Amino acid sequence: MPPTMQLARTVSPQRQRLFRRAGRLVNQMLFYLFAALFVVFCLAPFVWVAITSLKIPSELYRNPPALLPIPLNVNYYFMTFQGRPFLQNILNSASIAGASTLFALTIGSLAAYALARLRFRGKRIILTMILMVSMFPGIAIVAPLYLWFSKLKLINTNPALVLPYVTFSLPLCIWTLTAFFQELPVELEEAAKVDGATPLQAFWHVIAPLAAPGIFTCAILVFIHAWNEFLFARTFMNREGSYTITVALQMFQGMGEELMPWGQISAASMIVTIPLVLLVLLFQQRIVSGLTAGAVKG
252: CB partners within 8 A, 6+ apart: 261, 264, 265, 268
- pLDDT number for residue 7: 46
Q: 92 — phi, psi (to 5°)?
A: -60, -45
Query: 76-291: which CATH topology?
Result: MetI-like fold (1.10.3720)
Provide the CA 292 distance to its chain's centre, in angstroms.
15
Closest CA relative to residue 96, chosen from 192, 197, 232: 232
Tell me the pTM. Answer: 0.80
- pLDDT number for residue 256: 57
Closest CA relative to residue 99, chosen from 12, 160, 53, 50: 160
Provide the CA 134 distance to its chain's centre, in angstroms.
15
Is the pLDDT assigned to residue 154 strictly greater than 80? yes
Q: What is the mean pLDDT of residues 259-281?
A: 84
**pLDDT interval class at 185 (50, 70, 90):** confident
Closest CA relative to residue 183, chosen from 92, 103, 289: 289
Q: Which helix (H) or strand (E) holds 130?
A: helix 123-135
Which amino acid is residue 224, in one-letter code?
I
Each residue's pLDDT tens digit, 29-63: 999 999 999 989 988 888 888 888 888 888 888 87
**pLDDT interval class at 172 (50, 70, 90):** confident
- pLDDT number for residue 2: 52
Domain ranges of the chain: 3-53, 76-291
Is the pLDDT assigned to residue 12 strictly greater than 70? no
At 21 the three-state DSSP class reads helix
Q: Can you tell me the distance from the alpha carbon of 210 to that of 61, in angstroms, rounded to the nearest whole number?
A: 54
